[in-house]
């Protein structure tokens, strides 16, 4: 994830939902669906043990052995359910650990792609490194983002398999190992996911959920780099025709122009995250670090700024880039500047199929006595893997994991009641989507 997700959590109502009361509104559930709920509940201790196991295994993106170790129980578990499984090793080709890929082919119902990620942001050296349970809350690295969602996928499928509901179904599961720090060559690292989406009807992503909400849209993520040049000279000559304004004043003009002229488009945000300027300046985006040298009595020659754009659609992203480019082009005397953009994640745009799927998922929540689920505000979600595939398929949803808070921090936790509920909902949704048409 590029940023932690923003949530407004009210979990009190979730904590009141015990297994015995979860079927209070269950008149719309079939006999088979009630059996799925019982199977999810029966497997819950085992599912919780898996969550503890994978949270205790560090899997920071660049800890290749750790990411591979977290993938292993999913490869084994999905193989036992009849999936053809493989580990897509990316160490040599992309400097990343790799992905879990599991496929079941069939002809019944809709073709599904289920996605998650098994890497986290927490380094091996972090003291925040263990699963700790306190009642119905579990803390630990990846509990919220998003190892609980990975376990939801596996145990929803286990419940379906016990009821004979995986037979002749077409389901692909991909758990990526570099979502938190995606490799530059996304054609390689997301190629299998994109191919699977092109052959799917529905994509379901199991990033952590929010009470009362399901994710039908997410903003995209575009990074930018501004490079500004001026004429190095004695500061006593600044603003003269032969010297001009210098790189830092030109940079200030550009950034103020962004603030005054680009800000305000609904749902759009942009940020200047780092700036370095002086006689000499350099910034390495891979290490997020740089160097600079300058003196107060020298007109600065170089400035570098790096930042990002979060837009709700490709059109908004293009419109924003165009405005920024026009501001950059209006140089102060004696300066020059260029801005470069890189599209890291496309927006998951809200479309009718997503909303139809949201209503179906909300109906399941109501049938389980858990209340309706409304579409999310895209501003509350960061970029994620579903951005690579959501606009390929007719229907897509995200946020199907359990609800928690504190992603990308040492306060990360998941509500375990919502974790079980998410597995119940997922099992019924997959069953309905893959039923005979």
Tell whether pTM > 0.75.
yes
pLDDT tens digit sequence for 190-213: 999 999 999 999 999 999 999 999
Q: How confident is the model at residue 288 (pLDDT cuts 50, 70, 90)?
A: confident
Counting residues of the chain whose pLDDT is more than 70, the rounded percentage is 94
Q: Average pLDDT, whole number, for the chain?
A: 93
* C-beta atoms surrounding 352 within 10 Å: 9
* 8-state DSSP, 403: B
Rounded distance between C-alpha atoms, residue 270 and residue 16, angstroms: 40
pLDDT tens digit sequence for 101-133: 999 999 999 999 999 999 999 999 999 999 999
pLDDT tens digit sequence for 2-58: 444 444 343 334 333 333 334 444 458 999 999 999 999 999 999 999 999 999 999
Higher pLDDT, residue 4 or 78: 78
What value does the mean pLDDT take over residues 262-276? 96
Rounded distance between C-alpha atoms, residue 231 and residue 343, angstroms: 32
**How far is Cα of residue 374 from the mean position of the Cα atoms in its chain?**
20
Q: Are strands 84-89 and 98-104 parallel, antiparallel or unpaired?
A: antiparallel
Rounded distance between C-alpha atoms, residue 248 and residue 229, angstroms: 9
- 221-345: CATH topology: Alpha-Beta Plaits (3.30.70)
CB 357 within 8 A of CB 218: no
pLDDT tens digit sequence for 373-388: 999 999 988 788 999 9
Q: How confident is the model at residue 184 (pLDDT cuts 50, 70, 90)?
A: confident
Higher pLDDT, residue 27 or 417: 417
Q: How confident is the model at residue 436 (pLDDT cuts 50, 70, 90)?
A: confident
Neighbouring residues of 187: CB distance < 8 A, sequence distance ≥ 6: none
CB 339 within 8 A of CB 304: no
pLDDT tens digit sequence for 334-359: 999 999 999 888 999 999 999 999 99
Using the predicted structure, report yes or no on whether residue 261 has a pLDDT greater than 50: yes
What value does the mean pLDDT take over residues 169-178? 98
Q: What is the pLDDT of residue 1?
A: 53
76-80, 197-201, 273-277, 283-287: range with lowest mean pLDDT: 283-287
Rounded distance between C-alpha atoms, residue 39 and residue 336, angstroms: 65
Using the predicted structure, report yes or no on whether residue 411 has a pLDDT greater than 80: yes
Q: What is the pLDDT of residue 381?
A: 83
Domain boundaries, the chain: 12-218+348-433, 221-345
Alpha helices in 108-201 (DSSP H): 148-162, 186-189, 191-198
Higher pLDDT, residue 23 or 89: 89
Q: What is the pLDDT of residue 172?
A: 98
DSSP string spanning 375-396? Answer: EPPGGG----GGGGTTTTSSEE
What value does the mean pLDDT take over residues 130-141? 97
Alpha helices in 163-245 (DSSP H): 186-189, 191-198
Q: What is the pLDDT of residue 255?
A: 98
Q: Are strands 404-405 and 213-214 parallel, antiparallel or unpaired?
A: unpaired
Rounded distance between C-alpha atoms, residue 307 and residue 272, angstroms: 4
Task: Say which CATH class 12-218+348-433 falls into.
Answer: alpha beta
What value does the mean pLDDT take over residues 77-95? 98
Q: What is the pLDDT of residue 158?
A: 98
Q: Are strands 213-214 and 374-375 parallel, antiparallel or unpaired?
A: parallel
Higher pLDDT, residue 3 or 309: 309
Rounded distance between C-alpha atoms, residue 298 and residue 316, angstroms: 40
Rounded distance between C-alpha atoms, residue 61 and residue 58, angstroms: 9
């Amino acid at each position: 994830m590029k940023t932690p997700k923003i949530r407004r959590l009210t979990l009190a109502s979730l904590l009141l939902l015990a297994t015995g009361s979860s079927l209070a509104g269950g008149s719309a559930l079939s006999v088979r669906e009630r059996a799925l709920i019982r199977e999810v509940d029966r497997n819950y201790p085992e599912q919780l043990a898996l969550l503890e196991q994978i949270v205790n295994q560090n899997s920071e993106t660049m800890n290749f052995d750790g990411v591979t170790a977290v993938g292993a129980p999913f490869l084994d578990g999905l193989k036992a359910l009849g999936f053809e499984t493989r580990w897509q090793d990316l160490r040599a080709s992309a400097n990343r650990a790799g992905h879990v890929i599991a496929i079941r082919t069939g002809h019944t119902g809709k073709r599904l792609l289920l996605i998650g990620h098994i890497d986290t942001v927490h380094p091996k050296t972090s003291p925040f490194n263990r699963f700790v349970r306190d009642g119905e809350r579990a803390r630990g690295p990846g509990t919220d983002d998003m190892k609980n969602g990975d376990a939801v996928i596996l145990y929803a499928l286990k419940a379906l398999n016990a009821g004979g509901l995986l037979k002749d179904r077409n389901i692909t599961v991909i758990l990526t190992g570099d979502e938190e720090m995606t490799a530059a060559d996304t054609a390689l690292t997301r190629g299998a996911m994109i191919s699977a989406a092109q052959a799917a009807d529905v994509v379901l992503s199991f990033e952590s959920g929010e009470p009362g909400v399901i994710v039908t849209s997410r903003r995209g993520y575009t990074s930018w780099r501004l490079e500004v040049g001026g004429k190095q000279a004695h500061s006593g000559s600044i603003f003269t025709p032969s010297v001009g304004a210098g790189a830092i004043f030109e940079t200030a003009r550009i950034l103020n122009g962004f603030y005054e002229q680009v800000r305000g488009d609904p749902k759009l945000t942009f940020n200047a995250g780092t700036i370095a300027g002086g006689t000499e300046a350099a910034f390495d985006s891979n290490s997020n670090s740089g160097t600079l040298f300058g003196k107060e009595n020298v007109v600065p020659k170089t400035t570098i700024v790096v930042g990002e754009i979060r837009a709700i659609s490709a059109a908004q992203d293009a419109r924003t880039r165009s405005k920024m480019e026009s501001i950059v082009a209006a140089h102060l005397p004696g300066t020059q500047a260029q801005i470069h953009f890189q599209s890291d994640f496309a927006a998951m745009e809200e479309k009718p199929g997503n909303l139809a799927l949201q209503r179906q998922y909300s109906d399941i929540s109501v049938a389980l006595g858990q209340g309706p689920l409304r579409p999310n505000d895209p501003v509350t979600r960061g970029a994620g893997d579903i951005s690579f595939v959501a606009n390929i398929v007719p229907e897509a949803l995200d946020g199907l994991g359990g609800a928690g808070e504190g992603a990308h921090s040492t306060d990360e936790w998941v509500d375990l009641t919502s974790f079980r509920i998410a597995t119940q909902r997922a099992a019924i949704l997959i069953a309905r989507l893959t039923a005979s048409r």
